[in-house]
Chain A
Amino acid sequence: MLRTLAAAPLAAASRVVEAPFRWVQSAFGLSPMPWLFLAPNLLILGVFTFLPLVINFYYAFTGGAELYPSQRPYVGAENLATLFDCGNYFDPSSCRKDLFWRAMWNTAKFSVLQVTLMVGFSVVTALVLNRKMAGRGFWRGVFFYPVLLSPVVVALIWKWILQREGVLNAVMIASGGAPAEWLTSGGWAFWWVIFVSIWAHMGFYTLILLAGLQAIPRDLYEAAQMDHASPWRTFSRITLPLLLPNLLVVGVLALIRAVQIFDEVFVLTGGGPGSATTFVVQFIYQTGFMEQIRLYGMAAAGSLVLAVALILLTLIQLRVANTEKAEAETR
Chain B
Amino acid sequence: MTAFLTRTRGRGRLDWTDWFTYLYLALGLFLMFGPVAWLVLSSFKTESAIAEFPPRLLPMGQKQVVVPGEDKPKPVFRVKLPDGSVKELAELRRIGLTSTMVDPAKPDDLVRVPIDARTPVREFKLATENYTDLAAKFDFGQYLWNSVFITIVATIITLLFNSMAAFALSKYRFGGRKVVFLLILSTLMVPPTIVLVPNFLVVSELGLLNSLWGVIWPAVATPTGVFLLRQYMLTLPDELLEAARLDHASEWRIYWRIVLPLTAPALAVLAIFSVMWRWNDFLWPLVVLTKSEKFTLQLALNAFQGDLVTQWNYLLAMTVITLLPVTVVFAFLQKFITQGIASAGVK
Contact = CB atoms under 8 A, between A and B. Distances in A.
A260 B282 CA distance: 13
B189 A314 contact: yes
B136 interface: no
Given A48-B221, A211-B342, A231-B17, A142 B189 contact: no
Given A134-B8, A160-B39, A310-B189, A38 B330 contact: no
B334 A137 contact: yes
B342 A204 contact: no
Contacts, number: 278
A151 B282 contact: yes
A299 B280 contact: no
Interface in A243-283: 253, 260, 262-263, 266-267, 270, 281
Interface string A274-305: 00000001001100110000001001100100
B235 interface: no
A153 B4 contact: no
A156 B198 CA distance: 30
Interface stretch (A25-33, A95-103, A111-119, A323-331): A25-33
Contacts of A134: 4-5, 7-8
B93 interface: no
Nearest to B326: A148
B197 interface: yes
Contacts of A54: 198
B322 A34 contact: no
Interface string B237-273: 0000000000000111101100000000000000000
A40 B164 contact: yes
A143 interface: yes
A34 B174 contact: yes
B276 A148 contact: yes
A62 B15 CA distance: 67
Interface stretch (B22-30, B122-130, B137-145): B22-30
A34 B172 contact: yes
B58 interface: no
Contact of B220 (A44, A51, A146, A284): A44
Contact of B283 (A30, A285, A310): A285
Interface stretch (B80-88, B94-102, B298-306): B298-306
Interface stretch (B68-76, B107-115, B200-208): B200-208
Interface string A161-190: 100011101100110000000000000000
A18 B319 contact: no
A242 interface: no
Given A38-B168, A45-B184, A156-B319, A145 B341 contact: no
Contacts of B312: 160
B168 A34 contact: yes
B21 A306 contact: no
Contacts of A21: 250-252
B197 A59 contact: yes
Contacts of A160: 38-39, 42, 312, 316
A158 B32 contact: no
A49 B187 contact: yes
B5 to A, nearest CB: 7
A17 B252 contact: yes
B195 interface: yes
Contact of B194 (A42, A147, A296, A303): A303
A69 B201 contact: yes
A310 B191 CA distance: 9
B338 interface: yes
B196 A288 contact: yes
Given A49-B221, A199-B32, 4 more contacts: A37-B251, A263-B283, A303-B194, A306-B193
18 contacts: A41-B164, A42-B221, A69-B201, A124-B24, A133-B21, A145-B33, A149-B326, A150-B282, A150-B322, A150-B323, A153-B301, A153-B319, A153-B322, A165-B53, A169-B53, A260-B191, A289-B200, A310-B189
Interface of B: 4-5, 7-9, 15-17, 20-21, 24-25, 28-29, 31-33, 35-36, 38-39, 42, 51, 53-55, 160-162, 164-165, 167-169, 172, 174, 177, 180, 183-184, 187, 189-191, 193-202, 204, 217-218, 220-221, 226, 250-253, 255-256, 276, 279-280, 282-283, 286-287, 298, 301-302, 305-306, 312, 315-316, 319, 322-323, 326-327, 329-330, 334-335, 337-338, 341-343, 345, 347
The 7 closest A-B pairs by CB, nearest first: A150-B280, A55-B198, A170-B54, A52-B198, A44-B221, A37-B168, A52-B195
